[in-house]
Amino acid sequence: MNVHQNIKLIDGKATSARVLAEVREQVLALREAGIQPGLAVVLVGSDAASQVYVRNKVLRAEEVGIRSLEHRLGADTDEQTLLALVQRLNADPSVNGILVQLPLPPHIDEHRVLQAVSPLKDVDGFHSANVGGLAQGRDVLTPCTPSGCMRLLRDACGDLRGKHAVVVGRSNIVGKPMAALLLQADCTVTVVHSRSRDLPALCRQADILVAAAGKPRLIGADWLKPGAVVIDVGINRIEEDGRSRLVGDVDFAAALPLAAAITPVPGGVGPMTIAYLMKNTLLALDLQQQAALARPSQEHAPCLSLC
């Protein structure tokens, strides 16, 4: 969507459909060249929400022509077994992306498992090599939700340079990578969190406000600068008027008259996350192809220097 066309709602469903169509086209071209991209999704345990997320990811992969390999392990799976599976997937050339669905059961060290995933197959962008690469502004695999938010922002605002972006939340999954991507796009970035002082005043400085606190309707009209572009990452289930419903971290009804553009919940950031998982799978394949091309020349380098 474009702010300049006076359309206020940032439609994540429509944008994600466009991203998925782009991915589908690229997959078709790859298949014609004899290449079949593959995504492995690993689920440990029977957490109900995780099962839904995994099912949706697998379905979406199939829709765009990416081969999906589902690995479901019992809740009592030990860490060594999981690490061995990750190593097998790292070594499998038919697997281009590996996603380990979080959270893992408490007896498994999440960090150790995420570090075991090859950085070139790390479609979630959680490996420290990719986190570091993002901080350095290199072309690496970056987390799907913030990457999806950047697409929505680019479509809504066009040029992001010089805009003041305020990110509410500092998690490794959303807040921190979001701030890094905004910085890479030449925004002036402020990150605020649960210990920040006078949050409303800090947020009122934002040309772009990204809310990722996980607190229902935390951000009201008095937190917004008129004309701000608001990206609401929050997904919170609340009971209201005897009904269960999903709301964001932004009080949507209060923010709508003030914002230049705003994402709804649901239908905003949510669909972008899966779309960017598919995009990251193709990016991972590309990075693997580049690495494979670079390898022989490195192997020959000592020989050349001797010749």
Q: Radius of gyration (Cα) for the chain, nearest Å?
A: 21
**Residues comprising the chain, all counted:** 307
Binding mask 226-245 for ligand NAD (x = CB under 6 A): -------xxxx---------
What residues from 181 to 200 belong to the interface with ligand NAD (CB under 6 A)? 192-194, 199
Establish whether 124 is a catalytic residue. Answer: yes
Sequence letter at residue 6: N
* Contact status, residue 212 vs residue 167, Cβ threshold 8 Å: yes
**Only segment of 62-70, 105-113, 130-138, 213-221 that touches ligand NAD (CB under 6 A):** 213-221
Of residues 190, 189, 192, the one with CA closest to residue 170: 192
Tell me which of 38, 97, 175, 264 binds ligand NAD, using CB under 6 A: 175
Catalytic residue among 101, 121, 122, 176: 101
Closest Cα partner for 288 from 70, 110, 113, 89? 89
- DSSP label at 231? E
Q: Is 290 considered catalytic here?
A: no
Nearer to ligand NAD, 133 or 271 (CB): 271
Closer to ligand NAD by CB, 125 or 270: give it. 270
Minimum distance from residue 298 beta carbon to ligand NAD (Å): 38
Comparison of 169 and 264: residue with beta carbon closer to ligand NAD: 169
Task: Single out the catalytic residue among 124, 207, 232, 251.
Answer: 124
Partners of 69 in beta bridges: 40
Complex with ligand NAD: residue 86 or 269, whichever CB lies closer: 269
**Helix (H) and strand (E) counts in the chain:** 10, 10
CB of 275 to ligand NAD, least distance (A): 10
Centre a 10 Å sphere on the Cβ of residue 64 and count the other Cβ atoms it contains: 23
Residue 212 touches ligand NAD, criterion: CB under 6 A: yes
50 vs 81, beta carbon nearer ligand NAD: 50
The binding track of 256-295 with respect to ligand NAD, each residue x by CB under 6 A or -, is -------------xx--x----------------------
DSSP structure string for 145-203 = HHHHHHHHHHHHHS--TT-EEEEE---TTTHHHHHHHHHHTT-EEEEE-TT-S-HHHHH
Can you tell me the distance from the alpha carbon of 78 to that of 305, in angstroms, rounded to the nearest whole number? Answer: 47
Residue at 220: amino acid letter: G
Binding site for ligand NAD (CB under 6 A): 145, 168-171, 173-175, 192-194, 199, 212-215, 218, 233-236, 269-270, 273
Which residues are the active-site residues? 57, 101, 124
